[in-house]
Structure 1
Amino acid sequence: MIQKFIELGEGYADIYELIDLGERMPDRIQHAIAFYSEKEGKPTASLSLVMKPAFGDKFQPIYICREGIPNPHEMPNKRFDLFKEMAEKAGKEVREFTIKPSNLFPETELFYQHLIGILRMNRFIAPLT
């Protein structure tokens, strides 16, 4: 199965698009995830939805808003609260990981490969077959 991150943006306004996706397809949400890192000295969060493949497809989308909102443990914020509320309505708990920031990787694609490795290692997504 192919798993791929689909970046919606950095979370300022596009976090509402991520929340809307979750509200419109709650039955497809496999996991709701918050990735925490420190970027340029600021604690940030990347919010993500791991979706179940559509119609038995071999493609699993992972929607993400990268490092655009403050880490809610450091600075509570409404955007994270709305994401958490959407996840709870879908019957999911927001899972949390502390990761390296994306700017430590020479390319964004390498950052996403790193995250896919973390998700596979923790059995949040299927291994390569």
Structure 2
Amino acid sequence: MIQKFIELGEGYTDIYEIVELGNRMPDRINHSIAFYSEKSGQSVASLALIMKPTSQQKFQPIYICREGIPNPHEKPNKRFDLFKEMSEKAEITITEFTVKPSSIFPETELYYNYLIGILRTNKILTPLS
């Protein structure tokens, strides 16, 4: 099965898209994730929805808004509150990780491979088959 990040943006206005996806397909949400990191001296969050695999078990999308939302533990904000409300409506607990920032990776794809490794290590994503 292919597990792939689909970046919706960096969390400014695109957070509304990830919230809308979750609100329209709550039964497809497998996990809600918040990745916390430090970017340009600011504590930020990347919010992600890991969806259940497609019916053929060949693809599992991970929608993400990357590093554009302030860390809600340091600076409460409406964008994170919207994500939290959507997750609660879907009866999904947000799983939180502190990770390295994407800026230390030469390519965004390498950053996403790093995150997939963390998710597999924590048994949130299934191993490759």
Pair 1:17 & 2:50 matched: no
Q: Could you tell me how far apart the structure 1 residues matched to 2:107 and 2:73 are?
A: 28
SS in 1 for 2:23: helix
| Number of residue-to-residue matches in the alignment | 129
Cα offsets for 1:66-124 (capped at 9, x unmatched):
00010000100000001000000001011100000000000000000000000000000
Q: Could you tell me how far apart the structure 1 residues matched to 2:17 and 2:8 are?
A: 8
Which AA in structure 2 matches 1:117? G
Which AA in structure 2 matches 1:111? Y
Q: Which residue of 1 aligns with 2:116?
A: 116
Q: Which residue of 2 aligns with 1:60?
A: 60
Unaligned residue ranges in structure 1 (runs of 5+): none
Q: Could you tell me how far apart the structure 2 residues matched to 1:116 and 1:66 are?
A: 14
Give the TM-score taking structure 1 as reference length: 0.98
Q: Could you tell me how far apart the structure 2 residues matched to 1:127 and 1:108 are?
A: 21
How far off is 1:57 after superposition?
3.1
Q: Could you tell me how far apart the structure 2 residues matched to 1:109 and 1:15 are?
A: 21
Alignment of 1:1-129 (within 5 A): 1-129=1-129
Which AA in structure 2 matches 1:82? L
Cα offsets for 1:36-75 (capped at 9, x unmatched):
0000100000000000012233100000000001000010
Unaligned residue ranges in structure 2 (runs of 5+): none
Greater CA drift, 14-23 or 56-65: 56-65
Q: Could you tell me how far apart the structure 2 residues matched to 1:54 and 1:4 are?
A: 12
Q: Could you tell me how far apart the structure 1 residues matched to 2:116 and 2:51 are?
A: 13
Give the TM-score taking structure 2 as reference length: 0.98
Q: Could you tell me how far apart the structure 2 residues matched to 1:74 and 1:12 are?
A: 18
**Between the two proteins, what is the percent identity of the paired residues?**
72
Q: Could you tell me how far apart the structure 2 residues matched to 1:56 and 1:26 are?
A: 19
